[in-house]
Amino acid sequence: MSRLPTLIVAAAALAVWAAGAAWADSPVLPSPLAVAHAALEQLRDGALLVDAAASLKRVLVGYTLAAVAGLSLGALTALAGRWGRGLRDVLEVLRPIPPIAWVPLAILWFKLGDGSAWFIVFIGAFFPIYVQVAWALSACPERWLELSRSLGASPWLTLRRVRLPAAAPQVAAGLRVGLGLAWISVIAAELVGAQSGLGYRIQMHRLMLETEGVIVGMLSIGALGFGMGAIARELERRLVPWAPPS
């Protein structure tokens, strides 16, 4: 029953789409039925799954690298005093550059293919993770630090038992946001710099004017991103049960 509004809104969106397609009567706006038919065909011949797996692998590799770097450098920024602030200032200059602007350099450095896609995913996912970790570790509530001092806890014990758990909800949120941006970045990378993956598939269908194929690729990205986001939220709920619900 709680899902009823979602179902009603989805049905309404499909109805508007179907009405728009019927009114336009053009290959650039296929009906939902035509898209469903194309999706089934692509699933049957296996091509969609192969490309989805290629994108998924790129996301996982680039995201893992970004998570390791974001967690380490974020912690360094928060805990290394003046050196940490120096690192933050340098990274703050790079942060506003969108992942897509890195594509030309990525292709020059890593050629077309996995290397450049991993790099773009890394750039996309790294900054939200880094920023959240650095902020969360440096903004531990004073009341908990004071409690730790009143108990005579050493700085190392305070880091392990107070600062890190206190930062965990924000860190988990950064990891979740980073995952979403990893998906956005991989498609950007594949649109121009890869020869497999969902982004590449969308581009190929566009060149062949197969709008149904373009929409199938887009909806696949949405479904995979949604699924991974749901997994991330569930992990967050289990591993950081004291975090406010996201």
Partner 1 sequence: MSVVDPVVQARSLRFGWGGEPVVADFSLSVAPGRVCVLLGPSGCGKTTVLRLLAGLLRPEAGAVTVRGPIGMAFQDPRLLPWMTVRENIGFALEAAGVPRADWSGRIEPLLARVGLGHAGDQRPDSLSGGMAQRASLARALALAPACLLMDEPFGALDPMLRERLQGDLQGALGETAAVLVTHDMAEALVLGDEVLVLGAGCTIRARVSVGAPRPRGEAWRLSEAFLALARELRGALAQ
The residues that touch partner 1, with contacts defined as CB under 8 A, are 143-144, 146-154, 157, 161-162, 165-166, 168, 241-242
Which CB, 49 or 151, lies closer to partner 1?
Answer: 151
Which CB, 161 or 237, lies closer to partner 1?
Answer: 161
Which CB, 148 or 211, lies closer to partner 1?
Answer: 148
Using CA atoms, how far apart are residues 104 and 120, in angstroms rounded to an integer?
10
Using CA atoms, how far apart are residues 154 and 164, in angstroms rounded to an integer?
14
- B/e letters for 128-164, b = 16+ CB within 10 Å, e = fewer, are bbbbbbbbbbbebeeeeeeebeeeebeeeebbeebbe
Which CB, 52 or 75, lies closer to partner 1?
Answer: 75
Length of the chain: 246
At a CB cut-off of 8 Å and minimum separation 6, what does 135 contact? 78, 170
Q: Taking the complex as a whole, how short is the minimal distance between the CB of residue 75 and partner 1, in angstroms?
A: 18
- Do the Cβ atoms of 58 and 116 come closer than 8 Å? no
Alpha helices by DSSP H, listed for the chain, are 4-24, 32-45, 47-79, 81-94, 103-110, 114-138, 142-150, 155-158, 164-193, 198-207, 211-239
Q: Taking the complex as a whole, how short is the minimal distance between the CB of residue 232 and partner 1, in angstroms?
A: 19
Q: Taking the complex as a whole, how short is the minimal distance between the CB of residue 135 and partner 1, in angstroms?
A: 19
Q: Taking the complex as a whole, how short is the minimal distance between the CB of residue 166 and partner 1, in angstroms?
A: 8
At 179, the amino acid letter reads L
Between helices 47-79 and 81-94, what is the axis angle to 10°? 140
Q: How far is CA 57 from the centre of its chain?
A: 13
Report CA torsion sign: 210, 211, 215, 216: negative
Which CB, 86 or 165, lies closer to partner 1?
Answer: 165
Q: Taking the complex as a whole, how short is the minimal distance between the CB of residue 141 and partner 1, in angstroms?
A: 10
Which CB, 23 or 242, lies closer to partner 1?
Answer: 242
Tokens encoding 123: 């750039």
**Other CB atoms within 10 A of residue 200 CB:** 22
Q: Taking the complex as a whole, how short is the minimal distance between the CB of residue 140 and partner 1, in angstroms?
A: 11
Which CB, 146 or 234, lies closer to partner 1?
Answer: 146
Q: Taking the complex as a whole, how short is the minimal distance between the CB of residue 156 and partner 1, in angstroms?
A: 11
